[in-house]
Amino acid sequence: MLKTNLEVMTKARAGGYAVPALNNNNLEITQAIFEAAAEEKSPVIVATSEGAIKYANIENIVSMTKNLADRYGVTATLHLDHGTTIESAIQCIRAGYTSVMIDGSHHPLDENIHITQEVVRIAHAVGVSVEAELGRLKGIEDNIVVSEADAFLTLPGEAKQFVEATKCDTLAVAIGTSHGAYKGKGPAKLDFDRLKEIVGLIPATPIVLHGASGVPPELIAELNSLGSNFKDTGGVGDDSIQKAISLGVCKINIDTDMRLAFTLAIKKAMTANPNEFDLRKILGPGKDAMKAMAKGKMRLFGSSGKA
């Protein structure tokens, strides 16, 4: 049985670790996520964007997730990531999601509060938890594009006002991370003083960190050696991740690193066997690479052994 994000994050906060939220688009990714969680004995949040729902069909996503959760017996949730409308949240709630994110961060504060209040009212009536976002991360996340000029960090005072007004269960904050592989040269610099102040003002609300992929340079170098052309990439260092967790972050979203691992493995498979057309032999290495990446994140976040 799938749990809510609030359930797994409350336990994570008490235990001093973070639960990985891994984005899902197809069968191979779903298998990689659940195999990793089972082997690491880690809780996991299976996240799907509106784009993933359009691509894979919501009924297929729910069916795959529930079937593999039952098969492996791990602690898991099914979560809408960056839902942009009330209608998207309702669609997922009706389909069987256990948690939804309503991202009203592109609206003025008052409108963000109003939209989030409505989703909370609907979701809480049927036992579904709600994540909201305050502050805007630069970069590209599925169909959401935020320029550097439009990005801004979360204001601690507004975070307190927002949580008190909306009664959201968890809050995604902007402290210097960004979506996608192009986070700038070198490791991202996070505003830990800001994070500490936010946590101090809303101590009962679990905190979420988006855009937290590491974008390992060695992985980028391998991809470029096989024909990619990634430039000026950067990510969040492991030491920054662990410090954020120590300050109260208990859900961390990882998507870019999973995609990069999958892409590299497929490029390697096709380069080694250019005439291969058995999709299982092409996609299989990609699944295994994502599984290895997911297991590494679970160990880094401290969630291994916590299922």
How is residue 281 written in tokens? 């032999």
Q: Does 81 participate in catalysis according to the annotation? A: yes
Domain ranges for the chain, please list them: 5-301
| pLDDT higher than threshold 50 for residue 150 | no
Query: What is the average pLDDT score of the chain?
Result: 92
Q: Place 189 in a pLDDT band, splitting at 50, 70 and 90.
A: confident
Residues 5-301, CATH architecture:
Alpha-Beta Barrel (3.20)
Q: Which of 70, 81, 103, 238 is catalytic?
A: 81
Average pLDDT over residues 197-207: 97
List alpha helices for the chain, DSSP H.
5-15, 27-40, 50-56, 58-72, 86-95, 109-124, 156-166, 192-201, 217-225, 238-246, 256-272, 279-301
Determine contact, residues 235/187, Cβ cutoff 8 Å: yes
Average pLDDT over residues 45-68: 97
Summarised one tens digit per residue, pLDDT across range 57-91 is 999 999 999 999 999 999 999 999 999 999 999 99
**pTM score of the predicted model:** 0.92
> Which of 23-37, 60-74, 226-240 comes out lowest in average pLDDT?
226-240
Tokens 């691992």 belong to 261
CA distances from 33 to 46, 78, 105, 143 (A): 8, 12, 28, 23
